[in-house]
Homo-oligomer: A and B are copies of this chain.
Amino acid sequence: MIACIGAGVIGGGWAAYFLAQGHDVVAWDPGPDAEARLRRIVEAARPALNSLGLPDDGWGSLTVAGSLAAAVQDADFVQESAPEDLELKRSLLADLAAATGPDTIVASSTSGFPMTDMAVRAVDASRLVVGHPFNPPYLIPLVEVVGGEATAPAVVKGAADFYRSIGKSVIEMDHEVPGFVANRLQEALWREALHMVANGDATVEQIDASITEGPGLRWPVHGPCRTFHLAGGEGGMAHMLDHFGPSLQAPWTRLGAPSLTPELRDAMVDGTATDRSFAELVAERDRAVIAIRRAVEDARRG
């Protein structure tokens, strides 16, 4: 039994995914019409989940509880997806820690608060962990798992194992980073976009088109580091950094670059090293970009 605390777009999306993976879900949300809204969100997600190979007959059952205590009393795992308000999260996580048993993991969907900041009111914060999904939680595989100072390492591992067991791609962090990993990258891009609009550099439409028609077509298959590894040709990341390193100092974004020390260079080269050949990676990218372009065209046609 999984408890979903908070049943908006994120909490409801989680509920749909847990149900589709065969788990029973009990949800609670204090808002008006919460149950009707939650059921609409779950039904809206159903066709996508069916089409991912999760047919109705394998789904768990959904119950809506009348109180937080009732929602979590039999829960093996709690996913908290309340609004992004630090005081609210602090109170709610303290209540959840108190209302759950010693073997229950309480994971927060927060998109930005470190657990160390959110757990300050909990009598026992050892079972509190961040399990940060991406919208929509029923389709985007990534979950970032990271504990706070008081989180037990076994709880971080337990949450990561649970998410993996239901098909999620997990980044398991051993230390807190403000904004986590993907959000920091996404936020840097978003802030540059806002600066560009504020400054009249480009329009919103040009910004969106520059990603959907450009680098956005590569990122589902090769992340930013591997993309630049390929940009270096046969010489890979080492050639790319040695050749384009000076352009890091160019005024191409408002974010200043770090100094390209030998240590950073080697970390990037080692991190992108692979046994796979340049030709093999290029072929993979090309197959993927063609299929991604077709996928998007089909999706736009409806």
Question: Which residues of A line the B interface, CB within 8 A?
Answer: 8-9, 44-45, 47-48, 51-52, 84, 112, 134-136, 139-142, 144, 169, 171, 173, 177-179, 181-199, 201-226, 228, 230-231, 233, 243-244, 247-248, 250-261, 263-264, 267-268, 270-272, 279, 282-296, 298-300, 302
Contacts and interface: CB of A to CB of B under 8 A. Distances in A.
A250 B142 CA distance: 22
A210 B225 CA distance: 11
19 contacts: A44-B282, A48-B286, A51-B290, A52-B290, A135-B230, A141-B213, A171-B202, A171-B209, A181-B201, A184-B196, A186-B189, A187-B253, A188-B253, A191-B257, A195-B258, A198-B261, A217-B220, A254-B256, A284-B300
Contacts of A256: 191, 254
A181 to B, nearest CB: 4
Nearest to A194: B258
A54 to B, nearest CB: 11
Given A142-B213, A204-B271, A209-B223, 17 more contacts: A9-B233, A44-B279, A48-B290, A112-B252, A178-B250, A181-B210, A187-B253, A188-B191, A189-B224, A194-B258, A207-B224, A212-B219, A212-B222, A216-B216, A217-B220, A284-B300, A288-B296
B252 A183 contact: yes
B292 A295 contact: yes
Given A142-B209, A214-B140, A177 B196 contact: yes
A247 B193 contact: no
A212 B201 contact: no
B223 A210 contact: yes
A228 B231 CA distance: 29
A84 B239 CA distance: 13
Given A185-B207, A284-B299, A284-B302, A112 B291 contact: no
Given A216-B219, A292-B292, A193 B252 contact: no
A64 to B, nearest CB: 20
A264 B198 contact: yes
Contacts of A203: 271
Closest 5 CB pairs of A and B: A204-B271, A208-B223, A179-B252, A291-B295, A216-B219
A263 to B, nearest CB: 8
A6 B192 CA distance: 32
A218 B135 CA distance: 9
Given A44-B279, A182-B211, A255 B252 contact: no
